[in-house]
Amino acid sequence: MSHPEPAPELLRLLGIMARLRAPDGCPWDQVQDFASIAPYTVEEGHEVADAIARQDWAGLQDELGDLLLQVVYHARMAEEAGWFGFGDVAKSVNDKMVRRHPHVFGEDAARDATTQTLAWEAQKARERAARAETGTLAGVAGNLPSLTRAAKLTRRAARVGFDWPDVGQVLDKLEEEAAELRAELSAADPARLADEVGDLLFVLANLARKLDLDPEACLRGANAKFERRFGAVEAALAREGRSPAEARLAEMEAHWAAAKAAERR
């Protein structure tokens, strides 16, 4: 299967974006700014991850195009402001990849995956220091999905020894936080409850990290499982001529158990 040459198509995309933002371009595109486009950028990243999780390879091509459009969009707005252009963005990441892979593009000896990961993190630390970002947790983006950010924060802390020695101690901490949440239930103070639930979620993200799991992927899987099984509950009730609102909880739980058992066969 032949593929279009990337350079002409990229230049075409850059031209399309410039035309959309031109004074006689698209009225919607003309009034957008970084803040208004940023949510779409985040959304497109999630849609890429979703296509991969579903192994929808045709859909992945489309979603990657949408994500690329976001990069082009931001670069075009920056160019209009006189800050940088798409070429600067590409040069920046090219230089970074070469700088962080001296064992490939330089004279360093070849490394195994573990050694390369350590070297990569050391190089990133040097880059943060050059940007005057001090502190172990510096540079962890504040607008990441919260579970992902929790895992990244604890991973950074673990590099300097601030970590539980084993998973068992994380599970102990999880039980401790659950007990603290239970103790707050009677008072029903929303602020205290939110604080305790946050602690519980933070420990869960830490647990996923200790198990080399992505907490966001774990939760996406749980969401998909819930949707699938609740759909089976609705289908079972529909065959009985009823909706969930017309069924008792015990009946829905029975259908849920049946759906769960069917998945395990």
Specify whether the CB–CB gap between 181 and 200 falls below 8 A: yes
User: For residue 219, what pLDDT is reported?
Assistant: 92
Structure tokens at 109: 């000896």
User: For residue 102, what pLDDT is reported?
Assistant: 84
Alpha-carbon gap, residue 262 to 265, rounded angstroms: 5
Largest pairwise CA distance in the chain: 72
Give the C-alpha distances (Å, rounded to integers) separating 146 from 95, 126, 131, 149, 215. 30, 26, 24, 5, 10
Q: What is the torsion angle, in degrees rounded to the nearest 10, for the CA atoms of residue 109, residue 112, residue 113 and residue 118?
A: -60
What would the pLDDT profile of 18-64 be if each residue is shown by its tens digit?
999 999 999 999 999 999 999 899 899 989 988 998 899 999 999 99
Q: Where are the beta strands (DSSP E) in the chain?
A: none
Specify whether the CB–CB gap between 222 and 58 falls below 8 A: no
Specify whether the CB–CB gap between 16 and 86 falls below 8 A: no
User: For residue 133, what pLDDT is reported?
Assistant: 66
Structure tokens at 235: 């289908």
User: For residue 46, what pLDDT is reported?
Assistant: 87
What would the pLDDT profile of 194-222 be if each residue is shown by its tens digit?
999 999 999 999 999 999 999 988 998 89
Query: Which residues of the chain are under the pLDDT cut of 70?
Result: 109-111, 113, 120, 124, 128-129, 131-133
Instruction: Name the pTM for this structure.
Output: 0.64
